[in-house]
Structure 1
Amino acid sequence: MTMFKLPELPYAYNALEPVMDEATLHFHHDKHHATYTANLNKALESHPELAEKSIRYLIAHLNLLPEDIRGAVRNNGGGYFNHALFWDMMAPERSTSFGGPVAGQIEKDFGSFEKFKKKFSAAAVSQFGSGWAWLVWNKDHLEVLSTANQDNPLTEGKKPLLALDVWEHAYYLQYQNRRPDFVEAFFWIINWDYVNELFEDAKKSRKCGAAE
């Protein structure tokens, strides 16, 4: 049975400071992401026929999974996949800048970067309880949306390009209950190079949610 492995961070634990401190990254990656990884593997043990399926396939095709593990894959597979994306969607402050093809598409679909930022921030701040804010590619245009818990837009056939984790464990050690401050600071560490890569891949893909 193929086992999913906890991915290493693509930067040092203190590389995102002061926006995201070292203690938060250790706690978030080493504890929370590791737990999702272990629980996903445990859920899949009873279904070796899924051994060759990618995590993207599993999340995009939840309705096709055996009923006895569907909930566990939705929660733990979602947690595994969402966090794997999240780490790569961030980079040390000012190491990348807003630009490239996705910048043009954002201006086309939202009117300006500031209008996009306002809409994305509102989705993040207003998400009740635990969840995520997303920028996604939906067939031929960009959308901003939020999901509860560890749900992922792939399940709806939409391609994630940018994600922000607004579970309390993502920011509470550093920002306490000041989620709006965390959301505002996040824009300083977005890895726009990676967002552009995902955008180009999403446009090339003929059908959303295809296995990779």
Structure 2
Amino acid sequence: MLRATARVMSSFNKIPAVLPKLPYEYNALEPSISATIMELHHSKHHATYVANFNKATEDLQAAAQAQDIRKQIALQAAIKFNGGGHINHSLFWENLAPSSNGGGQFPSSGPLADQLEAVATANQDPLLGYVPLIGIDMWEHAFYLDYKNVKQSYLDAIYNVINWKEAEKRLASA
């Protein structure tokens, strides 16, 4: 694994950031992930990261024009957190697929089966220095309405909708 994927990064490199359109309907991942969770997670939670990132980058531009170094430094945490949230969620949507579209079918052999490695980051920090093959949102907003506080049940269910074909494409492009 080397660097972030071109598709996620190219959509992220645009300022202002834009909430990506999902490649499936909100109810397409049921019963693993409910339409209610998907709609809230995408249209509210991820949208908030996009809005906050855009606000922070606007403020950064204004601080740079004013040559306000303190303000520029103070904005870095907001840019990292909200930008990371945007990158990570954009990746998350792409690495899910309905079972009818190849979700949950881990390859029994090949490069992906031989090389899967788990790496975690704190908070919404983006994964740097690696190509993220899949990402699983482990924050409560991603599963609490469906699985309450039983993370293992959520993990068992989400593997039914992981888009392993997309993960293979990311590995091949690395």
State if a TM-score over 0.5 links the two structures: yes
* Matching of residues 130-209 of structure 1 within 5 Å: 142-154=116-128, 157-202=129-174
More helix by share: 2
TM-score, normalised relative to structure 1: 0.66
More strand by share: 1
State yes or no: 1:44 paired with 2:57.
yes
- 1:67 Cα offset (Å): 2.4
Aligned match for 2:97, one of 76, 91, 97: 91
- 1:95 Cα offset (Å): 2.1
Whose RCO is larger (CA < 8 A, sep 6+)?
Answer: 2
Q: 1:163 to 1:22 in 2, by over 3 A?
A: same
Contact 2:107/2:113 (<8 A) preserved: no
State yes or no: 1:14 paired with 2:27.
yes
Contact 2:88/2:124 (<8 A) preserved: yes
For 1:22-77, what per-residue CA distance to the aligned partner results, in whole angstroms no more than 9, with x for missing partners? Answer: 1001111111000000000001013449xxxxxxxxxxxxxxxx523221121100
Aligned length: 150
Contact 1:94/1:188 (<8 A) preserved: no
Contact 2:112/2:171 (<8 A) preserved: no
Aligned match for 2:37, one of 24, 30, 44: 24
- 1:201 Cα offset (Å): 1.6
State yes or no: 1:71 paired with 2:84.
no
What's the % identity of the aligned pairs?
Answer: 43
Q: 1:108 to 1:7 in 2, by over 3 A?
A: closer
For 1:104-140, what per-residue CA distance to the aligned partner results, in whole angstroms no more than 9, with x for missing partners? Answer: 234434xxxxxxxxxxxxxxxxxxxxxxxxxxxxxxx
TM-score, normalised relative to structure 2: 0.79
User: What secondary structure, in the 3-state scheme, does the structure 1 residue paired with 2:133 have?
Assistant: strand
Q: 1:6 to 1:104 in 2, by over 3 A?
A: same
In structure 2, stretches of 5+ residues that fail to align are 1-13, 63-71
- For 2:58, the aligned partner's letter is E
- For 1:75, the aligned partner's letter is F
